[in-house]
Structure 1
Amino acid sequence: MNWYAIYTKPRSEKKVADKLETIGIEAYCPMVTSMKQWSDRTKKVSIPVLPSYVFVKLTEPRRNEVFDVSGVVRYVFWLGKPAIIREAEIDLLKEHLSQDYSSVIQTALQRGDKLIVPSGFFKGQEGVIKNTTNSKIQLVLESLGILLTLEK
């Protein structure tokens, strides 16, 4: 059995993961609790760490069963084949999301520098800085194939 990444319709990640679980497919949607501010109130909400992505663990012959769930758009492909996510990367996500974290703040970083994320969701992951501003760092995590934006 392998972990695969699937792309979902916007804001459907949690629903898709729940529906996949009900049909017997192991699914993981990494979520984090965040404070959301409206004009009249502040509330804690769960938001996906990777918007529009859900990870599924299944065998090759069962791969098409995910399309029985509404909200699933397609598999994420890498080099012409469905991207296989290593078990260690899924475990790393689960481990770091289960812990409390603090903001990642760095200074004097430049484009092209390599950076190991010191804390938070992706602690220990190495990435290459794509862009920096006063309050944001865009970091490419090649092993996960994602662009991560770290904010102060």
Structure 2
Amino acid sequence: MSQEKSWYTLLTKSRFENVVFNDIQKKSIEVFLPKIKKRSQRKDRKLMIDVPLFPGYLFVNITLDPVTHLSVVKTTGAVRLLGYSSGPVPVPSAHIESLKIVTGTGLDVVSGTINTLQKGERVLVVRGPFSGVKGEFLRHKGKDRVIIKIETLGQFAGVEIDREDLEILPAILS
């Protein structure tokens, strides 16, 4: 195990990024949670809120000695350091510095996958009243809205959903 500090990606429970960030900071461990400003999804408000750039992930600068490693992964809401069976994989410091510069500018930052939805692509609804439902992408409808086709009881229905409430299903799961 390396005794030199390196940055590692820490996977957290869903929506626990801030809790984990604060608890790790209290342990005097260097931690970085890149955030961006985004319009609130609540219908009754038009606020800009800070949200994690990479939901479910933050970065810690640690040595991989057993005490520090255990201290990080035993934090409430922490899941594991990303890596392989041989151990966690460090993130180059240059990448962290770039993220700090990008998120520190105050300019609009758009995140997400480069992959755009293609007609016929299988999707999973991850939030909202249709959460857990699998469907097929039909078309875009305005900014950040899409129409998907879902099958229920042998019938098809098209529903309009926020784009961010969908995840593309890997071919193996669709």
TM-score relative to the length of structure 1: 0.65
Q: Provide the C-alpha distance between the structure 2 equivalents of 1:130 and 1:40, rounded to a whole number of angstroms.
A: 31
Structure 2 partner of 1:45: 49
Match of 1:85 in 2: 91
Residue 80 (structure 2) pairs with residue 74 (structure 1): yes
Q: Quote the residue 1:56 is aligned against.
A: 60
Q: How many pairs are equivalent?
A: 115
**Identical-residue share of aligned pairs (%):** 25
Higher radius of gyration, 1 or 2: 2
In structure 2, what residue type is equivalent to 1:51?
Answer: P
The answer to whether the 8 Å contact 1:101/1:121 transfers is: no
Residue ranges of structure 2 left out of the alignment (5+ in a row): 119-139, 145-163, 165-174
Secondary structure of the corresponding residue to residue 70 of structure 2: helix
CA deviations on 1:7-48 (whole Å, 9 max, x unpaired) are: 101000011011101011111111111111423222221110
Residue type of the partner of 2:105? Q
Higher mean alpha-carbon deviation, 19-28 vs 67-76, is at 67-76
Counterpart Cα distance in 1 of 2:48 and 2:104: 16
| AA in 1 matched with 2:7 | W
Instruction: Structure 1 unaligned segments of length 5 or more: list them.
Output: 103-119, 123-127, 137-148
Distance 1:86 1:121 in 2: 22
8 Å contact from structure 1 (residues 6, 72) kept in 2: yes
RMSD: 2.6
The aligned runs of 1:22-41 (5 Å cut-off) are 22-41=26-45
| SS of residue matched to 1:60 | coil
Moved over 3 A (4+): 128-136
